[in-house]
A and B are shown apart, each in its own frame.
Chain A
Amino acid sequence: MQARLVAKDIACRRGERLLFRALSLECRAGDACHITGANGIGKSSLMRILAGLLRPYVGKVDRKGTMGLVDERLALDANLSLGKALAFWQRIDGCREPGRALELLQLGPLMDVPVRYLSTGQKKRAALARLLNRGCPIWLLDEPLNGLDSQAQKTFEALIEQHCAGGGIAIVASHQHIALPSPSRVELAEFAA
């Protein structure tokens, strides 16, 4: 099955404010998409709409394939060791090969450290490990570079490239520059209401 994510003519309203409207987006297997825009313009809301966590005010989103979301919320139990916290999601996702993600993201030495003691960048890497373990074709990444050092950033860009080369979709919302394989760009300001 080919992964696909198509958003048609969506608008987003938060409270009384219309954040953006008439936004269409189409991603097929192998596509990468970079969503840019200033703070508060609605990048995170767009990601949540694409993920199906938020209903668009107008328009609809069609998805084919499972999705993984990495946003600012870690969803790992703060009091557990990283290994145990990740193990929960591995069991939920039925992941058989958790070692690979840990190695790629160099989390091995941190497995016994309680999640609450991890630094911002380490937490981000933990969230990315959860995403990799999921083994899903559609990646939704909301500000994935926050807190990552330059080396981790390179590793991560390489991971995205691999993912897309393998027929995955990567949608990245970030105000920072990120090297994506032939990305389509969505400048949210163009759709501001």
Chain B
Amino acid sequence: MIGTLLRRDLGLLLPGGRGGGGVLPLLFFLAVAMLYPFAVGPDAQLLARTGGGVIWVAALLAAILPLEKLVSGDLEAGVFDQLHLRGISEELVMAVRLLAHWLAFAPLLLLATLPAAGLLGLDGTTTRTVLLGLLAGTPGLAAVGLAVAALTAALRGGAALAGLMVIPLAVPILIFGAGALSTTGDGGIALAAAISLGLCAVTPFVAGAAIRSVREG
């Protein structure tokens, strides 16, 4: 049953899936990496020094884009109600969706980080730190995104609000993940991973409770 749920969620969220717009966050991410050198000028040193941070900010903003379709569509269509009638808990449904959401945007984002790093002229070590940081941080971004998407799903204009709400909640991941760029050692990445794990553990319960409260409301 978990496999069935995951397959449906992936079909909905993956690029080229029926949800549509799966490639959009990716293009957005690359577009930011492309625009940044135009904006600050061709100072290679400056680009190499700040590029890692720009990639992080772009990744964070790109993670906001898919939130609109993450929960509200199924809520309106009554999918969660039908699953509830079948005794499938909201927590499980949300845990599966978290996994699907991460799978649908993070691996491609990591892949797109390579051309982005090229565009900004990052060296090998920095690129590695950015990639490791994103690998540690994206599960947390996905978790925050899903929790906020579920909390705002029933609101009018919920998608715009979700975008705004994700940003402050994602700040800790950004601080440690991007912070690893300016410090030596992998302590920052480890902390970003720890925050990610914590968020991933909490999110299915937050999102599940949000869906139940909409149902009862």
Is chain B's interface secondary structure helix, strand, loop, or mixed overall? helix
Residues of A within 8 A of B216 (CB): 54-55
B82 touches A69 (CB 8 A): yes
Asked if A96 lies at the interface with its beta carbon under 8 angstroms from chain B, I say: no
Interface mask (A49-75 → B, CB under 8 Å = 1, otherwise 0): 001111100000000001111010111
Distance in angstroms between the alpha carbons of A77 and B215 in the assembled complex: 20
Whether B78 and A67, one on each chain, are in contact in the complex, defined by CB atoms closer than 8 angstroms, is no
A179 within 8 A of B: no
- Chain B residue contacts of A79, Cβ below 8 A: 18-20
- Whether B18 and A75, one on each chain, are in contact in the complex, defined by CB atoms closer than 8 angstroms, is no
| Chain A residues, Cβ within 8 Å of B164 | none
| Interchain CA distance A54-B85 in the complex, whole Å | 12
Complex CA gap A67/B87 in Å reads: 10
Measured CB to CB, the nearest residue on chain A to B81 is A53
Contact A73 B85 (CB under 8 A): no
What residues on B are CB-neighbors of A91 within 8 Å? 1, 4
Q: Is the CB of B81 within 8 A of A75?
A: yes
| Residue from A52, A55, A68, A75 within 8 A of B78 (CB atoms) | A75
Contact B18–A80 (Cβ < 8 Å) = yes
Q: Does A1 reach chain B (CB closer than 8 Å)?
A: no
Give Cα A78 to B20, complex, Å: 12
Taking a contact as CB atoms under 8 Å apart, the answer to whether B18 and A73 are in contact is no
Known: A54-B215, A68-B85, A92-B86. Contact between A74 and B4, CB under 8 A?
no
Determine if A160 is an interface residue (Cβ-Cβ < 8 Å).
no
Q: Which chain B residue shows the least CB distance to A130?
A: B82
| Contact for A74 among B18, B20, B77, B215, CB less than 8 A | B77
* CB pair B81 A88 closer than 8 Å: no
> Which residues of chain B (80-111) have a CB below 8 Å from chain A?
81-88
Whether A97 is near chain B, meaning CB under 8 Å from some CB there, is no
The contact of B85 among A53, A74, A78, A88, by CB within 8 Å, is A53
- Selected contact of A73 from candidates B11, B12, B81, CB within 8 Å: B81
Inter-chain pairs besides A53-B215, A80-B18, 17 sampled, C-beta below 8 Å: A51-B81, A51-B85, A52-B84, A52-B85, A53-B84, A54-B216, A74-B77, A75-B81, A77-B8, A77-B12, A77-B18, A78-B77, A80-B11, A88-B4, A89-B82, A92-B5, A92-B86
